[in-house]
Amino acid sequence: MLPLSPVSTGSRQDMERNRWETAIRCLEVAVHPTTREDEVIAAINGFRRTADGVPLSQICIEFACGGLSVAELAEMKETLERLNRENRDLRRRLAVEEAAQEEAADRLDKAHRRIFELTEETAAAKRQAEAGEREFADFRAAYASALEGAHDLRGLADEARRAIADKTPAPPRPFSAFLAEARLAADRAASLAGAGNGSGRRPSTGDKADQPRTV
């Protein structure tokens, strides 16, 4: 007769597993070809006492599942199904989150590229503004130089006009003035030479005949 496995003390699952193992061992002893008839009856009775009315199929299931009962197996199955549903839901949410992260990363890359483009455009605009400021400064310096040259030219023109005015001859005197001076000089010469006018007196310069005539 094969020896029966002892029932170990421990957790409930271990106890159940040992119980079902003992029941199955009793069946093995009962069906073994070398077992005597009295031992077969004893093994069957041992199985009945150990199984305590539990069907053999349930005993095999619970033994294969580590001593868990059918109710616990059903609960475990429900738990596993719930965990599978939660796992699928988490995977779906993870896929949505990954898609959102990829979209956010794409937007971030576009924003970085746009910032780089704006930075380049700002630098180009700054260079253009600096070039414009230099050109304006050059134009202002040239304009100031032109104003200074125009002022110098104006001074030179004024000096030239004054020089021309100084060199311009005086307008000619009227011929009547020359004639009056000549007649007056002739009368003075005649008076000095003792020439009279028949009246024994010096000709007067106040006579109308002696007044210079204007031409």
d(CA 126, CA 118): 12
Give per-residue pLDDT as tens, 1-11.
Answer: 444 444 443 46
- pLDDT (tens digit, 9 = 90+) per residue, 194-207? 555 544 455 555 44
Mean pLDDT score across all residues of the chain: 75
| pLDDT range class, residue 115, cuts 50, 70, 90 | very high
Using the predicted structure, report yes or no on whether residue 131 has a pLDDT greater than 60.
yes
**Euclidean distance between the first and the last CA atom of the chain, given in angstroms as a whole number:** 188
The region of weakest confidence among 91-95, 135-139, 199-203 is 199-203
User: Over 70: is that where the pLDDT of 73 sits?
Assistant: no
pTM equals: 0.34
Count the neighbouring beta carbons within 10 Å of the beta carbon of residue 211: 11
The domain segmentation of the chain, as residue ranges, is 12-68
Residue the block writes with tokens 């409930």: 12
